[in-house]
Structure 1
């Protein structure tokens, strides 16, 4: 099995965990989202510490936070990812999983827009068309439902900003995510201490719920590690294509398992978004192939010389 095949399988594994995680959080429907988020953060931190200890890289953690600039960047990234996690968990509890899947569908298009705004990256025609179609989709859904799809917008933009911030960090993905949950953990522990002092905490009250709250950290960590493994072995075009498995599984879970309402306005909006993604993905795939051909041609020319 080649490294690329292993990378694709790792990416499929990560997206499958992300796509089906809504089922897991639905089973914790009796636990407030903020409490789940705190446990997800704390136990994720413990798990990542164990991973770094096994790898012999614990010293890399304080180095990722050793200057005010890097600490500030990590803090912003931590806030954005915690906002993303909290809104996603809340959307599951409030029966807005369909809208959450829309957020992760439009995220790549928002990321393209963020690249243009923050890094002055020029958008080609297919990208402009894709962003325009996504904008029309959100506008139509807002008009039809008489309310903006805030869940989708917050998820897409918070993850896009998270990506923009992460680009300025030189540390590896596992170390940087560990640093993020390290920054968040004192707040998580503080909030858990408050609710348990009031007798409102769910941890320890019942075995199944307690174990599920602990495992929420592992469910957070494992797909990130798989994604990191895949990113080093698979082309960005392939990663971009496979990552649509995540919102697709979320959409299927929302409509087929959770039986959420799916109106005509949803159908129109999703059709536009899927069209936008098809245009965007086809364009990215063609550009990726052209770049690989150019690289092979240059290599062949260099060998001939």
Structure 2
């Protein structure tokens, strides 16, 4: 199997797992969103620490300790991903799976705007058109919901900011996840201890439920590691297309499995988002073709 095909399989695996993640979050009820988030942080640290021990890749901690500026960046990334994870879990458990899908659909457009604001990048007419259509979509959805789609906007903004910080830090996937989770581990453990002292913790209430909470670490790390394998083998244009797998599956979970409503106005808002993404993706593919002097090799078995 070629490395390119292997990379696409890794990418499809990562985004498929992320797409069906709402099903896993729902079976963690009656645990609340913050309790699930805290367990996700704690068990991620444990899982990735075990993984790094097995492959003997702890040397990076010494290098990181010599760079306090990088540690500050990691703390910022930790805060952003905590907001993203927490809002995502809240959205699923409050029966807003469709809105969480919307957040990841508009994510690429938010990242383009962050590039303009933070990196002084310039947009071409097609990109501005996509952003304009996306803005109109948010307006339509605001009218439909009777409020700003704050879950979707928070997910898109927090993940966009997280991606921007991660781009500047350039940490490997496993090492990055370990340090980011470790920065949140003490507050997470303190919250779980407080919850247990109050008698409100769901941990230990049934072997199956407890096992599912522990599995949160592996469930968090596995798709991220698969994504890292894809990012090292697949062109950015390919990654850009693969990223739509997750919100499509999340939308399917919300509408077909959890039976969340999709009235005509909401469907129109989503249609505008999809139109913006088509404009954005087609422009990205054209740009990539102009910059690549040779065609990409065909997939080989």
Same fold (TM over 0.5): yes
- How far apart are the structure 1 equivalents of 2:92 and 2:145? 19
Q: Which residue of 2 is the match for residue 287 of structure 1? A: 287
Q: What is the deviation of 1:165?
A: 1.0
The SS at the match of 1:29 is coil
- How far apart are the structure 2 equivalents of 1:201 and 1:9? 38
Aligned length: 296
Q: Which residue of 2 is the match for residue 144 of structure 1? A: 144
Give deviations 1:36-90, integer Å, cap 9, x for gaps. 0011111111111122112211121353354331121101100110110111111
Kept in 2, the 8 Å contact 1:61–1:178? The answer is no
Q: Which runs of 5+ in 1 are unaligned?
A: 297-305
Alignment of 1:6-155 (within 5 A): 6-155=6-155
Alignment of 1:186-197 (within 5 A): 186-197=186-197
Provide the TM-score with structure 2 as the length reference: 0.95
Deviant stretches of 4+, over 6 Å: none
Provide the TM-score with structure 1 as the length reference: 0.94
Alignment of 1:199-218 (within 5 A): 199-218=199-218
- How far apart are the structure 2 equivalents of 1:220 and 1:136? 33
Kept in 2, the 8 Å contact 1:33–1:90? The answer is yes
Q: Which runs of 5+ in 2 are unaligned?
A: 297-301
The SS at the match of 1:167 is helix
Q: Which residue of 2 is the match for residue 254 of structure 1? A: 254
- How far apart are the structure 1 equivalents of 2:290 and 2:78? 36
Q: Which residue of 2 is the match for residue 303 of structure 1? A: none
Q: What is the deviation of 1:4?
A: 0.6
Q: What's the Cα RMSD here?
A: 1.3
